Amino acid sequence: MKTNCVVKLGQLRRTDLRPAALILGRAMRDNPVNVRAFAISDAERRSRALERFFRPVLLGLHQRGLIYGAYRGNALVGICGIARPGFCQPTPLEKLRVLPAVVFGNPLGAALRVVNWADAWAHRDPAGPHWHLGPVAIEPSVQRQGIGSALLTAFCVHMDAYGAVAYLETDRRANVHFYQKFGFAVVAEADVMGVPNWFMSRPGGHPRKG
């Protein structure tokens, strides 16, 4: 599918998981929860730590859901992850795969902080069936060019086609306003490791007929 910002959207290939992790590391390095959890003051080191963290995270999500990519030419410039209903949370095996990425090469205590962060989000996961959105990230050099909106528009079309409920978490106030444009509403707020977090839901639309 083409968009008005000259990108093509398509399901992420397994071979794209590494470049997707690189984008996440760069795009999310200054997110408040990531800064607090990894406790790495140097931005470039924190970006690399997040890349290592997101590699196994994306591998698990690729198996439990869908990951859409935004491409300019052959270059991946944005990603949008979606976990299927009933498969929002990582399996025990996935958690084991992530553990080395948060233990080795990071400050003491990073692994415990990441576990506490993940548990705080998992505790608030809705009980009813829903599609879980995230992570969503755009390559920093091409942000504010409509790529995120293109990904979210495609996501919402997918949700509305099935009348499906969607849910997400964010630790950035600016993201709250962005997601509200696509029908999400804040259903809860909480501090996670002293950082404000917002939990948002989008009601199911009317399934398409025919």
**Peptide bond before residue 135 is cis, with ω within 30 degrees of 0:** yes
The reported pLDDT for the residue numbered 82 is 96
Angle at the Cα of 12 (from 203 to 187), degrees rounded to 5? 20
Quote the pTM value: 0.93
CA distance 123 to 86: 15
pLDDT along the chain (210 residues), means of 10: 70 93 98 98 98 97 96 94 96 94 95 96 96 98 95 94 95 97 97 97 68
Q: Is the CA virtual torsion 33, 35, 37, 38 positive or negative?
A: positive
* Residues forming beta bridges with residue 138, ordered by sequence position: 78
Give me the pLDDT at residue 5, please. 62
Contact 100, 114 (CB under 8 A): no
> Residue 201 burial by CB count (10 A; 0-12/13-18/19+): exposed, middle or buried?
middle
The pLDDT assigned to 141 comes to: 96
